[in-house]
Amino acid sequence: MPPWPRRLLLLAAVGALWAGAPASAAASCKAWLVQSVPTDMPHLRRVPGVLSTADVFQWLSGNATKNLDILAQYWQLLAQPKNPKSGDYGFSESDMARFGAGEGLRVYKALETAADRKVKIRIVQHSGFAPDFDEESANLAAGRPNVQNVTLLFGDWWGSGVLHAKVWISDKKDVYIGSANNDWKSLTQVKELGIYFADCPEIAKTIEVYFENLWTLSTLNSTACTKIAWDKQWQTSRKVPCWSHFLRPEQRCRSPLPLSVDVPYVDGYPSLANPEMLDVLIETPGHNISTQEHYLSYLSFAPPELSFDKFQADEQGWVDTIKSVNSGGIVRINTMDWLGQSQYATQTVFWPSLSTAISEIIFSKNATVRLLVAYWTHFIPNTENYLKSLLYSNTLCTSSKYNHCGGKVEIRYYVVPGYNETGQATVTGNRYPDFTRVNHGKYAVSNTRANIGTSNLIWDYFYTTAGVSFGTGNPSIVSQLQDVFDADWDSPYTVPVKPLDLEASA
C-alpha cells in the first residue's frame, strides 16, 4: 500500500486502542485483518480498516517487552540487489525504493532493537533458500544470548515438507497468523492475508503450545523417533513420527508432546465431532460492526501429529468452514496453489477432501462456491486439470431432471500485473524481482464462518508440513473478509477458468 493510507490505518488503529479508552476496554482482545498489497495495482479497491503487514510486524517487534517467538519458513527482510545469487540482482536503488524494499529493512531493524532491549527472541525456521538461507536470523542471534534460533527439517520427520507456518507471538498476548513470510517482498510485492490479535492471551497461549511442540521436535533425534507407516487413509507407505495415529496402537511410541485426543483404533486422524473451541470476546476496531457478543473461535494445526488436546487438524478446519455455509449461501476460497493431490511426496497421493466438500454443498445446500487461485510465474502445470474437474460438478448438478441441485462452482485465476516479468534485472530485463507479483493468501469464508491459514491447498501442506489456521464465527471478521475477497474477485485482475470442453474430449 502507498505510505499515506498505511499511516491513516496506523493512526486509526492506535486511536482505537488507546485514545481515551478505559482500562477495561484496552485490556480486551482485539483483532484486525492484515494485508500486503503489491505496488502497481491501481484498480484494486482497498477495504477500510485492514492493516498493513509491514506495520504489524514492526509493532509486534517494537511493543515486545519480554518475549518474541517467531515461526518462519525463511528470511530475506534485507534486499540484495548487488548479490548475483539473489532474485533482487541488478535493480537500481530507485527501483528498490519504488518496490518498497525499505519496509523489510524497517522490520529487521525493529527486531534488532528488540534484541538489544534484551527481549527473549526464539525462532524456529526451515533451512531457508538461496542466497542467504538463515543468515539473517543467525546474525540476529550472534553475540546475543537472549536470541535463539533453531532449524527444523520436516523431511527428517515426514520424508518431505517444510516449516511453512508464519506466526509471530509477542509477550504471550499479541499474535500474527497469516501467509506473509519474513521477506521484504511479502510486505510490498506479494499479496498476503493474515490476522493480528492484540491483548489476546488465550489465543497466544494456545499458539504457544504449538510453537513449543516444534521447538521440542528440533531437539529430538528424528532417526530414533520415526517409523515407516502404511497410511491406509491415503494408501501409501511413508515416514511419520513414531507416535502417529497412522501407526497401529501397538507400534506407537509414547509422544514427547502434549497428548491430543486419544483415538486408539483408527487408521489416521478422523475429524473430531466436538473440537476444542475458544470462547473469547473479540472486538474488531477496524470494522464498523464490531460486536460485544461472544462467538466461538478455533485454532487448527498441521501436520496432525503436532496437534494437541482436542484441537482439530488443519484439514478439518478448512472442510468444516466450507460446510458451514447456510442453504443458498456463498463460500469464498482464496489460495495461491490448488491441487487435488500431493506435490512433494515420494509416492503421489490423490487428495479429494476439499473438492468433495465443495461438491457436497453445491448439491445439498444449493450453495455457490467462488474459488480464487493464483496464476503466476511458478504456477503448477496440472492445476488447471483439477480446477476443470471441480467445475464439472456444475454439469453433474444439472445432469438429471430429478436432481434438486441449484448450486454452482465459479473459479477465477488471480493475475497480479507483471507476474510474467519477474527475475534478475540484469539477466532478463525483468520489471520486478523474482518470486513476486502473486496472490499468496490462504483463507476461506462462508456466510457464517472464516478460516485464515498458512497452508496452500495441497495434500502435503496438511500432512507433512507445519501450518496453522485461525477460524471464527465472529460476524465482523466474516463480513470484512468477505469484502476483501470481493474486492479481488470483482477487480480487473481476475480471469475465469473455463469448464471442460466435453465435445472436444468426446
Which is more confidently placed, 346 or 9? 346
Q: Which three cell numbers stand for residue 32?
A: 484486525
Q: What was the pLDDT predicted at 427?
A: 72
User: Which domain, by its residues, includes 193?
Assistant: 3-14+28-212
Burial per residue of 30-47, b for 16 or more beta-carbon CB atoms within 10 angstroms, e otherwise: bbbbbbbbbbebeebeeb
Read off the pLDDT of residues 342-356 as tens digits, 9 standing for 90 and up: 999 999 999 999 999
From 212, 232, 247, the end of a domain falls on 212
Q: Do 85 and 130 contact (CB within 8 A), yes or no?
A: yes
Under the banding of pLDDT at 50, 70 and 90, the label for residue 290 is low
Q: Are residues 155 and 287 in the same domain?
A: no
Q: Do 424 and 434 contact (CB within 8 A), yes or no?
A: yes
Q: What is d(CA 369, CA 494) in angstroms, rounded to the nearest whole number?
A: 16
Under the banding of pLDDT at 50, 70 and 90, the label for residue 279 is very high
Q: Are residues 40 and 147 in the same domain?
A: yes
Under the banding of pLDDT at 50, 70 and 90, the label for residue 22 is very low
Read off the pLDDT of residues 117-152 as tens digits, 9 standing for 90 and up: 999 999 999 999 989 999 999 999 999 999 999 999
Q: What is the mean pLDDT of residues 154-158?
A: 98
Q: Which three cell numbers stand for residue 191?
A: 499479496
Q: Is residue 227 part of a domain?
A: no
From 158, 185, 212, the end of a domain falls on 212
Q: What was the pLDDT predicted at 506?
A: 52
Q: What was the pLDDT predicted at 483?
A: 98
Q: Are residues 272 and 124 in the same domain?
A: no
pTM comes to 0.94
Q: What is the mean pLDDT of residues 485-504?
A: 90
Q: Is residue 441 part of a domain?
A: yes
Q: Are residues 304 and 388 in the same domain?
A: yes
Q: Are residues 271 and 137 in the same domain?
A: no
SS3 call for 227: strand
| Element counts in the chain: helices (H) and strands (E) | 16, 21
Percent of the chain scoring above 90 in pLDDT:
89
Q: Is residue 179 part of a domain?
A: yes
Q: What is the mean pLDDT of residues 78-82?
A: 96
Q: What was the pLDDT predicted at 52?
A: 98
Q: Is residue 226 part of a domain?
A: no
Q: Are residues 175 and 276 in the same domain?
A: no
Question: What CATH number is associated with residue 293?
Answer: 3.30.870.10
Strand stretches in 156-266, DSSP E: 167-170, 174-178, 182-183, 192-198, 226-231, 236-241
Q: Is residue 319 part of a domain?
A: yes
Q: State the average pLDDT for the chain.
A: 93
Q: What is the mean pLDDT of residues 25-42?
A: 88
Burial class (CB in 10 A: 0-12, 13-18, 19+), 276: middle
Q: Are residues 53 and 118 in the same domain?
A: yes
Q: Are residues 205 and 264 in the same domain?
A: no
Q: Are residues 339 and 468 in the same domain?
A: yes
Q: Do 56 and 198 contact (CB within 8 A), yes or no?
A: no
Counting the structural domains of the chain, the total is 2
Q: Is residue 100 part of a domain?
A: yes
SS3 call for 171: coil
Q: 492 CB contacts (<8 Å, ≥6 apart)? A: 43
Handedness of CA 83, 88, 90, 95 (dihedral sign): negative
Q: Is residue 239 part of a domain?
A: no
Q: Are residues 149 and 297 in the same domain?
A: no
Q: What was the pLDDT predicted at 426?
A: 75
Q: What was the pLDDT predicted at 429?
A: 79
Q: Are residues 200 and 265 in the same domain?
A: no
Q: What is d(CA 70, CA 124) in angstroms, rounded to the nearest whole number?
A: 6
End-to-end CA separation in angstroms for the chain: 48
Under the banding of pLDDT at 50, 70 and 90, the label for residue 288 is confident
Under the banding of pLDDT at 50, 70 and 90, the label for residue 261 is confident
Question: Could you tell me the CA-to-CA distances from 197 to 96, 284, 408, 430 in Å, in that order?
Answer: 31, 10, 35, 38
Q: Do 184 and 101 contact (CB within 8 A), yes or no?
A: yes
State yes or no: pLDDT of 9 exceeds 50: no
State yes or no: pLDDT of 262 exceeds 80: yes
Q: What was the pLDDT predicted at 208?
A: 98
Question: Could you tell me the CA-to-CA distances from 37 to 45, 118, 338, 363, 422 in Å, in that order?
Answer: 11, 33, 21, 35, 17
Q: What was the pLDDT predicted at 246?
A: 96
Q: What is the mean pLDDT of residues 295-324?
A: 97
Q: Are residues 207 and 300 in the same domain?
A: no
SS3 call for 112: helix
Q: Is residue 223 part of a domain?
A: no
- Look up residue 211 and give its amino acid: F
From 178, 212, 246, the end of a domain falls on 212
